[in-house]
């Protein structure tokens, strides 16, 4: 049986859950991390020495790092769908997955924490405004790219859309000012039609 360790409100766990939904994969999930704890326990650290979620377990195979798990599942179960068969299309999709980790996530985190996990009386709105500007520049970059292609990998939805798609939900859900980014909105609206996105991503932020 496939097992996923991690709380469903973690954006990194969401990547794997949404990917499983797209691939039609069954799994059992266990709440770990955040308010549930457990990720600092020796048993969990033997699985992932980073102490982070998610962790995927398939019999004696253990894998951590959300994008690596997503790539693995897509390569095994999603050839021609989440896993593009064309090497250049796949490389474009993977590029956006790496960009999400290196650029987009560091831009999103201070805005998300400032508005979702910081009480209003404790917010530093000057810093939040500056952080919002950085995040908007990232989303504007995605918008420009999507002016030339339907999805981040190319003409079809792929694994490359999943990590950035989670950030897009938070971008549109956060109580911030947003300038009109029509290509980003068109792509986001298409994601909102996908059952896996509706189930695992379009939920109250915690």
CATH number reported for the structural domain that contains residue 52 in this entry: 3.40.30.10
Q: Tell me, what's the pLDDT at 113?
A: 97
CA angle, 139 as apex, 69 and 113 as ends, to 5°?
70
For residue 125, is it within any domain?
Answer: yes
For residue 52, is it within any domain?
Answer: yes
Q: Which domain holds residue 48?
A: 2-77
CATH number reported for the structural domain that contains residue 166 in this entry: 1.20.1050.10
- CA 86 from centroid of its chain's CA atoms: 23
Whole-angstrom CA distances from 30 to 7, 13, 22, 196 are 7, 11, 20, 19
Cβ(155)–Cβ(81) below 8 Å: no
Same domain, 147 and 189: yes
Q: Which of 77, 112, 138 is the last residue in one of the domains?
A: 77
Q: Which of 37, 57, 77 is the last residue in one of the domains?
A: 77
For residue 33, is it within any domain?
Answer: yes
Partnered with residue 64 across adjacent β-strands are 55
Same domain, 102 and 172: yes
Q: Which of 77, 108, 128 is the last residue in one of the domains?
A: 77
Same domain, 106 and 177: yes
Q: What is the tally of structural domains in the chain?
A: 2
For residue 204, is it within any domain?
Answer: no
Whole-angstrom CA distances from 43 to 31, 38, 89, 95 are 14, 9, 39, 33
Same domain, 151 and 62: no
- CA 150 from centroid of its chain's CA atoms: 19
Q: Tell me, what's the pLDDT at 15?
A: 98
Same domain, 19 and 61: yes
Same domain, 106 and 31: no
Same domain, 119 and 51: no
Q: What is the largest CA-CA distance in the chain?
A: 51
CA distance 55 to 148: 35
Whole-angstrom CA distances from 204 to 107, 108, 169, 186, 193 are 20, 17, 10, 22, 17
Q: Tell me, what's the pLDDT at 94?
A: 98
Same domain, 108 and 165: yes
pLDDT digits (tens), the chain, 206 positions: 899 999 999 999 999 999 999 999 999 999 999 999 999 999 999 999 999 999 999 999 999 999 999 999 999 999 999 999 999 999 999 999 999 999 999 999 999 999 999 999 999 999 999 999 999 999 999 999 999 999 999 999 999 999 999 999 999 999 999 999 999 999 999 999 999 999 999 999 98
């Amino acid at each position: 049986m496939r097992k996923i360790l991690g709380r469903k409100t973690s954006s990194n766990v969401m990547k794997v859950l949404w990917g499983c939904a797209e691939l039609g994969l069954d799994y059992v999930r266990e709440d770990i991390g955040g308010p549930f704890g457990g990720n600092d326990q020796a048993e969990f650290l033997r699985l992932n020495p980073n102490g982070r979620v998610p962790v995927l377990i398939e019999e004696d195979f253990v894998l951590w790092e959300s994008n690596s798990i997503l790539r693995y599942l897509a390569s095994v179960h999603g050839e021609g769908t989440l896993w593009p068969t064309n090497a250049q299309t796949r490389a474009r999709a993977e590029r956006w997955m790496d960009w999400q980790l290196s650029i987009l996530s560091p831009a999103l985190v201070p805005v998300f924490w400032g508005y979702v996990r910081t009480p209003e009386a404790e917010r530093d709105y000057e810093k939040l405004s500056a952080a919002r500007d950085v995040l908007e520049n990232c989303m504007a970059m995605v918008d420009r790219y999507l002016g030339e292609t339907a999805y981040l990998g190319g003409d079809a939805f792929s694994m490359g859309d999943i990590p950035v798609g989670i950030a897009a939900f938070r971008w549109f859900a956060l109580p911030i000012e947003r300038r009109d980014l029509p290509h980003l909105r068109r792509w986001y609206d298409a994601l909102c039609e996908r059952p896996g996105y509706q189930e695992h991503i379009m939920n109250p932020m915690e």
